[in-house]
Structure 1
Amino acid sequence: MRLINVETEKFEEFVVSSSDTLKYAILSHAWDSDGEITFQDFKDHGLHLLNKKGHKKGHKGLTKIAMTCSLARKDDIPYVWVDTCCIDKTSSAELTEAINSMFNWYQDAQVCYVWLADLPAATEESIDSSLKRCRWFTRGWTLQEVTHP
């Protein structure tokens, strides 16, 4: 399992068994149509360097990962897992392993953060009405993601 260390903002790899007590947060989100930060992007540059060098600066996927790391630091959780960058999708073996392990990864996480990119800022409209229109609620696998940590 590849995780992002929230202090170093670099990948660390772990061999995880069901008896492990690895403390990590996991992100549930709808992928952005503008693209996401991939494994290769993150491996080559890291979150810190992406910000410092301006590479993909302002990219929604980068913001999503940075905010997830920030929340985990505040919650005293040392690692985060974000599917878009923690899985090398160019490796069919790794992708298959990740798909087969995902249920357990969500179940074993300390917390599952949900990224609602299209939730409007506070308005007079009720929160229930705004939430129902978020793309995240249209995804079939989100129930599994938030009910297992």
Structure 2
Amino acid sequence: MRLLHTTSYKLKSFSGPPDPYCIISHKWSQTHDDMTFQQLNQMHSGGDPKSMEHPGFAKIRGACGTAYGAGGYQWIWIDSCCINKESSAELGYSLNFMYRWY
């Protein structure tokens, strides 16, 4: 399971979910502006300084702020950026375990 740190916005893999972590439901848009795993990693590697202006990053920042501010959660799971959808094995694993994580 990969989770996002709510203040550094960095991803970390866990063998099992840390206790506690947060999942916040979000609104889907037709513009497909969610930030992907690859885009978030690129932002942290310094590859694209405009990544922080990505519309999907505003959603991530808002969800992290809510999780940290409302409950002090340090970790959050957001499907759009915590799953590497380019890996069919990881995508399949995530889909199979998603309901457990909820």
TM-score normalised by length of structure 1: 0.59
Corresponding residue of 1:65: 60
Percent identity for Structure 1 against Structure 2: 34
Q: Pick from 25, 28, 35: which aligns with 1:37? A: 35
Q: Is the radius of gyration larger for structure 1 or structure 2?
A: 1
The runs of 5 or more residues in structure 1 that have no matched partner are 107-149
Task: Verify the 8 A CA contact 2:40 2:51 in the aligned structure 1.
Answer: no
Residue-pair matches, total: 98
Q: Give, in whole Å, the separation in 2 of the partners of 1:7 and 1:57.
A: 17
Match of 2:74 in 1: 78
Amino acid at match of 1:67: G
**Structure 2 CA distance for aligned equivalents of residues 45 and 67 of structure 1:** 17
Per-residue deviation, 1:62: 1.6
Runs of 4+ with deviation above 6 angstroms: none
State the one-letter code of the partner of 1:8.
S
Q: Give 1:80-99 correspondences, 5 Å limit.
A: 80-99=76-95
Q: Which residue of 2 aligns with 1:14?
A: 14
Which residues of structure 2 form unaligned runs of 5+? none
1:3 and 2:9 matched: no
TM-score (norm 2): 0.84
